[in-house]
């Protein structure tokens, strides 16, 4: 991955981390013993990773203020500096 991390990429990455964590924690219901424990630790780690990515990278590319932690609706312009945020599709 040689592309620079931007806030949109970070949002995607953190969403995948959260989805994976749900899968891992959901998996604990089907296993017992060390497999269950491993999945639980993995799930907690993925949640922590997802939160960390959000907190570190989920920022306006212009003024560096932290954006709202929404998962579905992304603002088109920054509410702080009114700068244009990244388009949905990258060319």
Binding site for Zn ion (CB under 5 A): 60, 62-63, 78, 80-81, 83
Residue number, 26 or 75, with CB nearest to Zn ion:
75
Minimum distance from residue 64 beta carbon to Zn ion (Å): 7
Nearer to Zn ion, 26 or 83 (CB): 83
**Long-range contacts of 43-52, Cβ-Cβ distance < 8 Å, separation of 24 or more:** 45/21, 46/17, 46/18, 46/20, 46/21, 47/17, 47/18, 47/21, 49/14, 49/17, 50/13, 50/14, 50/15, 50/17, 50/18, 50/21, 51/14
Q: Which is nearer to Zn ion, 9 or 20 (CB)?
A: 9
Q: What minimum distance in Å lies between the beta carbon of 77 and Zn ion?
A: 8
């Amino acid at each position: 991955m040689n592309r620079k991390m931007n806030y949109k990429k970070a949002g995607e990455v953190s969403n995948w981390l959260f989805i994976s964590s749900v899968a891992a924690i959901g998996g604990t219901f089907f296993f017992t013993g060390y497999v269950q424990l491993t999945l639980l630790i993995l799930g907690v780690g993925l949640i922590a990773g997802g939160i960390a990515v959000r907190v570190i990278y989920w920022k306006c590319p212009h003024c560096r203020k932290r954006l709202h932690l929404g998962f579905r609706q992304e603002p088109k312009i920054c509410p702080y500096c009114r700068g244009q945020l990244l388009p949905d599709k990258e060319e």
